[in-house]
Structure 1
Amino acid sequence: MADVALGVVFDRLLKAVLDFKDKTIYFKSILKKLESRLRSIEPTVREIVSLDRVLNNPEAEMKMLTDWLIEAEELVHKCSKIQWWNCFAKVSHSTKLQKLDDKLRDFFETGMQVVQARDSKKMLVTVNKIDEKLDRMYSFVGSCGAPGVPEFIVGLEEPLQELKTRLLRDDGQVIVLSAPGGCGKTTLAKMLCHDVQIKEKFMDNIFFVTVSKTPILRVIVQNMFRHKSDTVPEFQNDDDALNQLEILLKQIQTIQSSPILLVLDDVWTESESLIHNFKFQIPGYKILVTSRSEFPGFNSTYKLELLSDQDAMALFRHSAFPQGGSMSVPEDLVHKIVRGCRRFPLALIVVGKSLCGEPEVIWRDTLEQWSEGQSVLDSNNVLLTRLKTSIDALDNRYSIKECFMDLGSFPEDQRIPAMTLMDIWVELYNLDEGGIHAVANIHKLASRNLVNRVFTREDANEIDGLNEHFVMQHDLLRELAIHLSSREPIEQRQRLIMDIRGYDFPEWFVEPIQPFHARLLSISTDETFSSRWGSMLPPEVEVLILNFRTRNYSLPKFMEKMDQLKVLIITNYGFCPAELSNFQLLGFLSSLKRIRLEHVSISFLSETTLQLTNLRKISLIMCQIGETFKNCTFEFAHMFPNLVEINIHCCSDLVELPDRLCDIICLKKLSITKCHGLDALPERLGRLTNLEVLRLHSCTGLKGLPESVVSLHKLRILDISDCLNISELPIRIGELRGLETLNMRGCEMHQLPPSVKDLGDLKDVICDEETVNLWEPFKIHLNNARITVLKEDKNLNWLSGLYH
C-alpha cells in the first residue's frame, strides 16, 4: 500500500542523501538543498503516513509522491557511482535532482492543499480516532509527548540555559535536575523539551515519562513504544521489555539519524535503579532526570535554586493581582506574605490565588496562622503549611474543602475525570443532580491553582460534555489532600485512602480490623497485588473507589457488607482491559445508585441475574462490551428497573446496541460518544419515551438515526456532532417539538427535511460553515433559534501543568 511504502521510502531517501552528501564535491550543493527540502516536509510526510494508516487511503497523489521519492532515491544512488571524469553524467543527474526537488516543492506548496481540501472529512474521522487513542493513553498509561508549559513563567531563563548547555555537551549520558517539591523542576524540564535548539538536535525523538512514586517499568516501556510505534509488543518480563526498548531506540536513531532524549520526571529516591535500567549504549542518547533527590551515583547534577526575591514577587503579584497593582493591601504586607512562601513557586501561585481579591484582614490572618505553626505535616513542612492556609481560606459552600480532599483518592499523576468527581460529589454532599455545583467546585479549585483543568474537546458543554473534561493535581497538593484526610484516628476518618503494593497493607490493617466510619473508601493496588482481601468492616461507606493495574481483578468480598454504598468507581490503569470476578457481590448493594467502569470487560453481565433496583446511572468507559451486547439475552429493564442515565464512551468494539436496552422506559439520558464501530441504533429506540438527552458525538460509523426517534417527544438535546456518515435527518424530525438543542457540527448534510420548521422550541443549533446555509430558509419559522457556527479546532496539545 502507498501509505506504508511512503514512510519507508522517505526514510531510505533521507538516509541515502545524508550518507552521500559529505562524500561528494560536485553534488554537495544540490544534496544539501534536497536534505533541507526533506527536513522541511518530514513532519507532513509523517502525518500523512500516520493518518493514512487509519484512513486506508491509497489516493493517486500519495502514490505519485511515493514514486517520486523512489525515483529520487535511485537517482542519489546513481550519482554516488558516477566517476569523477564523467562531466556529462554529472550535469545530467544534477539537473534531474533539481527537477525532483522542484516537484516536491510544488507538491507541498500547492498540491497538498487540494488533497487536504478533498479529504477534510476523512481527516476528521482520523482525528477522532486519534482522540480516542489519546483518551486511552492519557487515562491509563500517560503520554510520552512533552506536555505544554504554564503561560506565565519567571526565574527559569538562566537555569534553562545552564541545563541546556549541559545537555548539549557530550560529557555524560545522565543529568539529574534536583530540587525540593514545588520548585519548578517539571516546568523547567518541559521548557527544555520545547526549546528550539533542543528540538533541532533531538527532532521528534524526545520522550517525556512521568515516573512518580510507584513506577511500573513495563508500563513505561509500553508507553514509549506506543509513542513511536504502531504496534506494542507483549513483554515476558522487565528484562524483555528493556531489551526490546533498546532495539527500538537503536532503530529510531539509525533511521532518523538524530539523537534521543529521555526525560524521567519525578523520580523518587527508591527508584534510582530505574534510571540505570534505561541506560543504553546508543550514540547521542541522553537521559534527563528530575527528582527531589540528588542521586550521588550520577556525576552530573544540576540543583535548581529557589526563585530570587524579585522573581518571587513577580510570580506572586501575577497570581494575587492579575489586573496589576496591590489594591488596598499594604506593600509591606505583600512582602511578608511573599517571604512567608519561602520563594517556592507552587506556594506563591496557590497562596496568591487564595488571597486574590480578599480584604486586608484575611491577609493578616494568613500570616498569623503561619506564625502560630498550626499545621505540623509529615514532609515538606514549610511548603505544605503555607498551602494548607489556602485550603482553609476556601468558602466551604457546596463542601468545596471536602471536594479538595477527595482528590487524594486517585493515583498520582493521573487524569481525574470530571464526570467521576460529579458522581461522587452529588451523592456525598447532596449537590444538585445536574452537576452544576460540582462543575462550579472544579472551577473554584482551578481558579486557586489547586487543580489543573484539562479539556480534550474545547467545544464540549461543561455539564453534558463532562466525558471530555479532566483535572490533574500537583503531587504535593495530592499529599496535602491525603494529609488533611488523615488527621483523625482511623476509625474516625471521613475518607480512608489505602495504597497497597503486593500484599503490603498499611500498618493499621491488622486483623481483626475494627469497624470504621469512613464515607469514602479508596483502595489503589499495583500489578503485583494478589487480590487477597482482608476482612474489613466498612458499613458506612457511601463511595468505593477501586484503582488497579492487573488483567484479572477480584472484587473484595467485604463489599457484601456495604449496604450504604451509593457510588462504585472501578478503574483499571493497566495497559490491557481487565476481567472482573466476584461481580455478583453487587447484589448485596441495595443502596447503589451509580456505577462507573473503566477499561474492563463486561462479559460478566451476560451471566448475571443481578437486579439493582436503585441504580440510576451506569458509565462504561473504554470497556470491552461488543460481544456481551451482541449476544445479549438478559433483560435490561429487569436488571436496572430505575436506570435514568447510560453513558458509553470510547468503547471501540461496540457495533450495535441491544434492542432490549430500549425496554428501560424510565431512561432519560443516553450518551454514546467516540464509539467509532457503532453503525446503527435499534429501531425500537422510540420506545424510550422519557428520553430527554440523546448524545451520539463522534460515532463516525453511525449511518443514520432510526425513524422511531421522532417518537421521543420529551427529547430536549440531540447531539450528532462529528457523526460523519449521518447525511440526513429523519423526515419527520419536526415531531420532536420539545427539542431545544441540536448539535450537528461535522455532519455531511446537503439538505434538511421540510419538517424542521416545526421545531418551535428549538433554541440552539450548532453546525459548521458547510451546513449553516441549510438553515437559512427556516429562520422565519424558528424565531427563537440561535445558530452557532463552530470552526474545526482539533487541538491535541492540551496538557499543561502547574509548577513542579
Structure 2
Amino acid sequence: MAAPSIVLIGNLVAMGSPLGLLCLRVVVASFIASGFAAPSAQQARHLLLPAPSHRCHECEYVVAEEDRGHSDGDKQTIADCFCAKPKSLLFRCKVAHKIKAIKVKYEKIVKQASNAIIVKKDLHVDRPVPSSNTRTHREPSILSHVEDSKIPKRDQEKDDIISKILQYNEAEDDRTVLSIVGLGGSGKTTLAKHICHDYKIKEHFKEMIFWVYVSQDFDVDKLIGRLFETIVRKKSNLQVEQNMPREISNKLGGKKFLLVLDDAWHRAKRGWEQFMVNLKSGAPGSKILLTTRDLKVAEIVKSRHIFELGMLSEDESWSLFLKSSGCVEEDLGFQYIEVGKEILNRCSGVPLAIRTLGGILSENKEISIRCKGLVTFPESIGKLRKLRTLELNYADDLESLPQSIGDCQDLQSLILYPCRKIREIPGTICKIKNLRALHISECSFLKQFPSEFTGVFSNLQTINLANATQFQELPSTLSCPLLCTLDLSRTKVTMLPPWVTTIGTLECINLEFCFKLVELPKGIGSLKRLAVLNIKGCSKLRCVPSGIGKLTRLTQLGLFVVGCGRDDARISELENLDRLSGKLEIRNLKYLKDPCDAKKACLKQKNGIKTLVLDWSLDKEEKELASDVEQEQGVLSALEPPSQIESLKIKGYQGPCLPRWLMEQIGHLTSLESLDLVYCGALAELPEGIGQLSALRRLFIQGCPALQCLPQSIQRLTALQSLVIAECRALASRYKQGVGPEWHLISHIPFVRIS
C-alpha cells in the first residue's frame, strides 16, 4: 500500500540565518513525482493559487490526503483555513479556493505522510464543495481514540456544551438538538470527539453514544442506512429498507442516547424532518449534537442551543503552535519568535492550520518551497540533506542559487518557475546524483548550463527549460540514460547536440516555437520510444532528417518541412505515422516534385489530425522557384485530409482550381469549421458545394486576385460567423458592404471584413 500523501501549497520566504532554515522547513511543500515522471497536474499539484482575501471568514485551509493504495475507495480530504502575508518579510502565502471534507484517521495519515501540504485560500465557506467522500459512517476511529486537547479555549467551550447536554428539562421533547457552528478547520469535529470521550458523557449515556457522518451529499434513505449501521451494527445493504426504521426504533426505545451528526450541510427542512422521525423512540434526556459550517442548518433542525466557535487569539495560536511542534519558547531566539508569530497571525486563528504547521516541525518532513519576493537564498539549504524537492515560484528578484545546493544529495526535483532573473545554475548541481527532474522554466536571463554540467546524470528523467527565452544551447557532452522528457520550447536553441539521439528512453522532445532552430540531429530516427516531437512554429527549420518515418509511436509532430537534400526526409515517410494528432503543417511543398510521393503520405487515413496547413511558399531567404502548375495540382490532390478535419489552410498554391476532394466531394468534410485560402494567386473559383459545409464558421481569403466571385451557395452557410476577404480586388468590389451587387449573399454573416 502506498503511503498517503499530504500536500501543502504556499509561498514563504527563506532567510539567510538559521531562522530562514526554520521557515523553509515549516512552510514548504514537497512533491515526489510518481514513477519519477515529469510533474503533472495530479502529481505535482503546484498550481499558482489566487491572492488572499482580506476577509478571513472567506478563507479556508485545506490539507488534501490521498491514499492511493486503497481499493475500497476509502479516500478522504481534510479542509481548513490558512492565509499568509507577513508585513516584515518579503513573502506571501498563496492558498486555493475549494474545501474538501475531513478524513477519519488524520493522526495516522500525518505520521505516514512523506510528501507535502497544501494551503488554499479565498474560499467561500458557504458554497458546497464537490466531494467524493466515502468516509465510514460508523466512524469507529472517532469514538475509539482522541488526543488530549491543547486549546484551553476549546476546553471551556466543551464544558459549556457538556453542561447543556447533561441538563434535563421536562419541557423538552425526547430528542433535543444542540449545534456546533464554525468555519472549516475551526475544530467542530475535534470538539465533538472530545465531548463524546468526556467521562461525564460516557457515564451518563453508557454505550448509547453514536456518530454519523452526514456530508453535503444529503440523501434521507442513505442517511437512515448509516444510522442503522451505527446503531444496530448490521450492514444496511443486506436489510429490507422498510425494516430499518423499526429496528432503529427498537434499539433506541426507552434509552437515553447521544447521537453526533457530523458535518451537516443540507438546508431542506422536509429532509431533516423525514430523518429525525426515526429518533423519537429514545428516552427523555436523549440529545443530538450536530456540527455544521452553516448557521441556517442549525436553525432548520430546531437547535435548542447553538454554539458558534470563534477563532483563536494570537496568544492562543502561539501556545497551540508550541505544543504541536514540541518547541519550548525559552529555547527560541527573538527572531524565531517574531517571524513565527507573523506566520501564525496569517493562519487567522484556525486550529487545524496551526496544528499542521507545528506537525511539520515536529516530524522534520522533507520539504520544497514556493515563494514570492525572495531576494537571496540561504547557503544553509545545503544542510537539508533529506530535501527531495526544491520549488521556487515567482522569486522574481532571485538571481542565483547557492553553491551549497550540491550538498542536498537526496534532492530529486529542482523546480524554478518562473524566476525571471536567474542567470546561472550552480555547477555543484552535478554532484546531485539522485536528481530526477530539472524544471527551469520562464527564466528569462538563463543562457546556458554551467561548464561543470557534464558527466553522468544516472537518474535524470526530465529536463524542462520551457520559456527560458534566452537559453541558447545544451552541453555538447552529457549522459542521461533515463531521460524521458526534454522540453526546450520557446528557447533560442539552434540545434540539438548528438547525444540526444543516443537516449533510447526519450518519449518527448518539445521544441515548439524555437524560432532559431535550423536543424534536427540526423540520428533522431533511432528514438523508437519517442511519442512527441513537437516542432510546431520552428520557422527557420530547413528540413526534417531522413529516418523520421521510423518513429511509429509519434502522436505529435506539428510540422513537416519538405527538403531538397539527399539526407532530408521524403514526405512518404509520413506513411507509417498513423498516430499523429492535433495540428500538422507541411511546409516547402514547392520542393515536392512527385505527386505519387505525396500520395504515400496517406494523410486521409490519419484521423487524429484536426488541423492541416499545406504551404507551398518559401522563406524570404530561399530562392523562389518557378511554379509547375500541373505538378502543384497533382500534389494538392494527393494530400487529401481525413474527413474529420476541422481546420484547413492552403497557402501559396498556384493552381487555377482546387482538387476534386474540395470541388466535387467537399460535402464529406462534415467537421470543417475553418477554411483559409492564402496567396493562391491563380485560383479562379471556389467550389459551389461550399454550401454543404454545415459546420463552417470561418472563411478567410487573402491574396487571391484571380477570384471573381464567391459561390452562390455561400448564403446557405448559416453557421458561418466570420468572413474575411483581403487583397482580392474583384471580390472587394462585388461584395462591398451595403453597396456591392452581391452583398446580399453574405449580409447574414455576423462578422464581415473586406479590405
TM-score, normalised to structure 1, is 0.33
When Rg is computed on C-alpha atoms for both structures, the one with the higher figure is 2
